[in-house]
Every structure is written in C-alpha cells, then in structure tokens.
C-alpha cells in the first residue's frame, strides 16, 4: 500500500517553466524518457520505494500523463508498479499489478 502521504516528484529538477506554461512545454522537458523518477512515500506506509524509469508521455484515463514504471519479483510473482502524473504532480495515478491482480490509487490536488 502506498499510503496517503504520496507526493510524486521527479528526481531531476528541470526548472523549465511556470505552471501556467504547461501547454507550451515540450514533453521531453518535463517527462524525459529514460530518466529516473521516485515517488515519495511516508514512513508510515512501511514500504520502500524503488526508482522508476520514465517511459514518456502516454494517454491514460483520457488524459495525457508522464508514465514511470518498474518491475520487481516478490514471493515468486512479478509485480509491476506504474505511475502516471501530470507536470506539477497534482494529478497522480498509481497502478500496481501483482500476478494479474490490479489495484489503482488516484491522488489529485496535491493531496
């Protein structure tokens, strides 16, 4: 479980733009494919979080998000963690697929 203190932040700090300029920013400036991204999870969640590789801008739930993902093997099963987030990380989805069982969590408004 990711907990409620999920605060997605890129590992790099591009400093490219102001929030109002999102429409004029190239995806490569805020969602650089191949870079690492790490969601911050509170200690209360009890879990360690691994850095995810950015896969680029994708369409998810009818919107365009930056996608980052990683896979691990746990208990003999593969687990895939996918994160979808907008440029200022105020709209974030976490999708966890463990052995075909998928859970989604949506955080918006920076909460």
Distance from C-alpha of 54 to C-alpha of 28, rounded to nearest angstrom: 11
Question: CA dist 36 to 16, 26, 55, 103, Å?
Answer: 17, 18, 10, 23
2 in a structural domain? no
38 in a structural domain? yes
83: containing domain: 7-108
- 82 Cβ partners below 8 Å, 6+ apart? 52, 67, 68, 69, 94, 95, 96, 97
25 in a structural domain? yes
pLDDT of the residue at 26: 54
Q: What is the pTM of this model?
A: 0.67
Distance from C-alpha of 39 to C-alpha of 92, rounded to nearest angstrom: 10
Question: What mean pLDDT is predicted for residues 37-59?
Answer: 71
97 in a structural domain? yes
Distance from C-alpha of 73 to C-alpha of 19, rounded to nearest angstrom: 37
Count up the domains in the chain and report the number. 1
The residue that leads in pLDDT, 91 or 41, is 91
The residue that leads in pLDDT, 47 or 16, is 47
Question: CA dist 106 to 26, 49, 95, 100, Å?
Answer: 25, 17, 9, 19
């Amino acid at each position: 479980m990711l907990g409620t203190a999920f605060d997605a932040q890129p590992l790099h700090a591009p400093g490219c733009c102001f929030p109002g300029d999102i429409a004029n920013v190239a995806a490569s400036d805020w969602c650089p494919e191949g870079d690492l991204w790490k969601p911050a999870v509170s200690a209360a969640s009890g879990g360690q979080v691994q850095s995810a590789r950015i896969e680029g801008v994708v369409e998810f739930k009818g919107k365009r998000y930056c996608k980052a993902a990683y896979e691990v093997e746990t208990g003999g099963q593969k687990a895939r963690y996918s994160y979808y987030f907008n440029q200022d990380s105020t709209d974030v989805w976490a999708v966890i697929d463990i052995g075909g069982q998928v859970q989604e969590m949506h955080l918006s408004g920076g909460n």
